[in-house]
Amino acid sequence: MAEPTDLVVIGDDGTVRVLGRGAERRLRDRPGRYHLVVDAPGLLILREDVVEGIDQRPTRVAMSGELLNRTSTLEVINIIATANWRGDLHVMDGVTHRILSISQGALKYALSDSADDRLGQVLYRNGVLSRRELDAILRQVSPEKRLGQLLIEQGVLSQEQLFAQLRKQVEQIFYASLLAKEGYYVFSVTEDEHEHVPHHTVHLPINQLLMEGVQRIDEMALFRQRIPHDDLCPVAQPKVTQLSLDENMSLILTYADGERTIEDIARETGLGHFHTMKSVYGMMQQGGVLLRPKQQIDAAAVKALVRQFNDVLRDVFMAVATYGAMDQTRQTLETWLQGSGYAPFFGDRVEEDGSISAAQVVDAMGSIDVENPMDALAQGLHELAAFALFAATTTLPRDQELALSRDVNTRLKRIRV
C-alpha cells in the first residue's frame, strides 16, 4: 500500500521524519523556526518563532478545525461574517487549497491551487475563449505579461469585461469551497496583507454569497437526481413548444440538438454550469426536454466491422458473377435498401463488387439515437448480408446455392462487435 504524500512520522525518541513528497514540498515553502503550541491527541499545531528586532507581525489563528460534513464550511463562514472578523479562511479538502479573504462582512478576493479555478479555465467554461484560443494565448503568458493583460492588449476583452470575469472567478472559488465535505479549515487574522494578494480585489457581501451558495447546494442535489452527470445531451421534445419558457430556457433550446452536452451548452451560451442545469432540469420536469448519452463512435471500430461484412458481400457477388447475375442481384439489393430504412446509413446503392461505403456509415453513425449504436449497426449489416445471400441464391444452381449459404452463414457467425 502506497504511503500518503503528506506523511510526517514522529519516532519514539521524538525525532521527526518527512516521508511524503507532498509534505516535503509544502514544508520547503515554510522554512524557519517553529514552536509546538498544541499537542492534543491526534492533532499537532506549530507556530512560527518571531525573531526579536524584526518587524514581523505573526499570523494569529482565530479558528481551525476539521470539516465534518458539507455544511461545515458554510457554518464557519457565517460565524466569521457575523463576528465581522477580518482575515483569511483556508479551506483544504485534501486535494485543493483555497483561500477566502474576508473583511467587513465581504469577500475581497479568493485564491486556489486548483487548475479548474484558474482564470483561463473560467473564461473557457463561460464561453469567452475556445480551447484553441485559450491554449494559444497561454503560450504567451510570462512573468511580465499576465493573462488578463494579454487579453486586454489583444482586444479580446475590455477592462470592464475582464473585471466581470475576475469577479466570476472569485465567486466560483467561494462556491467550490462550500462544497468541501471533508478536510480542514484555518481562519487566520493578521494586520498585514496576505503574502499573495492579487492585483485586483472585489467587494462581495458574504451574506448574499452564502444565501446563493445554500440555494445552489440544495438545488444541485435535486438536479443530480435526474441529471447524474454533464456528458448528457438535451433533446427538445414536441411538447416544449407549448411551455412557457424564460429567456435562459429559450436560449438553451437553440443549442439542444442532441449532440451538445450540458457542459457544451453551458460554455457556448455563457450561462454557466448552474444556470444551465437549472433550466434543463426545469424543462425536463415539464416534459419539454429529454436527455440522451453522448454518442462516442469509434470510427476505426465501425470501419473494421463494415470491412468484415464487405468481404462477405464481395464473395456473394463473385458467386453470382459466374452465372451473369451481378446486375440483377445488385438491383434487387438496392431496391431492398431503399425500402428497408437502412439507406441513410448504408447508402441506397452498392459498389460494383457488392460492398458498401465504410466512410458513409461512419458519418451516419453520429445521428443514430440508440443505446448501443454498434450493436444496432451489426444488426443492420447482418440483415443486409442475409438479404444479399437470399437474392443471390435465386440465381444459382442448387449445389452452388447450398455451398454459398453454408460458407456465408459460417463467416457471419464469427463476426463479433
Q: What is the pLDDT of residue 207?
A: 94
In tens, the pLDDT along 59-107 reads 788 898 999 988 899 999 999 999 999 999 999 998 899 999 999 899 9
Q: Long-range pairs for 81-86 at CB < 8 Å and ≥24 separation?
A: 81/105, 81/206, 81/207, 81/210, 85/187, 85/189, 86/189
Greater pLDDT, 94 or 366: 94
- Domain co-membership, 69 together with 173: yes
Greater pLDDT, 293 or 152: 152
pLDDT mean over 343-360: 87
Q: What is the pLDDT of residue 1?
A: 43
Q: What is the pLDDT of residue 3?
A: 60
pLDDT mean over 384-391: 91
Domain count, the chain: 3
Q: What is the mean pLDDT of the chain?
A: 89
- Confidence band of 138 (pLDDT split at 50, 70, 90): very high
For 48, the 3-state DSSP assignment is strand
- CATH of residue 237: 1.10.10
Question: What is the C-alpha separation between 303 and 359, in angstroms, rounded?
Answer: 7
DSSP class per residue in 54-95: S-----EEEEEEEE-STTHHHHHHHHHHHHT--EEEEEE-SS
- Domain co-membership, 65 together with 211: yes
Q: Is 80 exceeded by the pLDDT of residue 390?
A: yes
The neighbour count for residue 186, using CB atoms within 10 Å, is 19
pLDDT mean over 1-16: 81
Determine the distance from the C-alpha atom of residue 386 to the mean position of all C-alpha atoms in its chain, rounded to a whole number.
42
Q: Which of 220, 237, 270 is the last residue of a domain?
A: 220
- Domain co-membership, 333 together with 354: yes
- Domain co-membership, 186 together with 68: yes
Q: Is residue 259 part of a domain?
A: yes
Q: Give whichever of 59-73, 262-276, 328-342 has the largest mean pLDDT.
A: 262-276
pLDDT mean over 301-328: 91
Task: Show Cβ contacts of residue 2 under 8 Å, excluding neighbours closer than 6 positions.
Answer: none
pLDDT mean over 352-372: 81
- Domain co-membership, 315 together with 373: yes
- Confidence band of 211 (pLDDT split at 50, 70, 90): very high
- Domain co-membership, 65 together with 186: yes
Closest CA to 317 of 328, 306, 305: 328
- Amino acid letter, 53: G
Q: Which of 220, 253, 282 is the last residue of a domain?
A: 220
In tens, the pLDDT along 108-124 reads 999 999 999 999 999 99
Q: Which of 238, 264, 293 is the last residue of a domain?
A: 293
Domain span at residue 369? Answer: 299-414
- Domain co-membership, 183 together with 230: no
Q: What is the pLDDT of residue 292?
A: 85
In tens, the pLDDT along 165-176 reads 999 999 999 999
Q: Is 70 exceeded by the pLDDT of residue 35?
A: yes
Q: Is residue 21 part of a domain?
A: no
- Domain co-membership, 265 together with 131: no
Q: Is 80 exceeded by the pLDDT of residue 50?
A: no
- Domain co-membership, 286 together with 394: no
Buried b / exposed e over 65-94, threshold 16 CB at 10 Å, is eebeeeebbbebbeebbeeebbbbbbbbbe
pLDDT mean over 341-349: 84
Question: What is the C-alpha separation between 377 and 278, in angstroms, rounded?
Answer: 35
pTM of this prediction exceeds 0.85: no
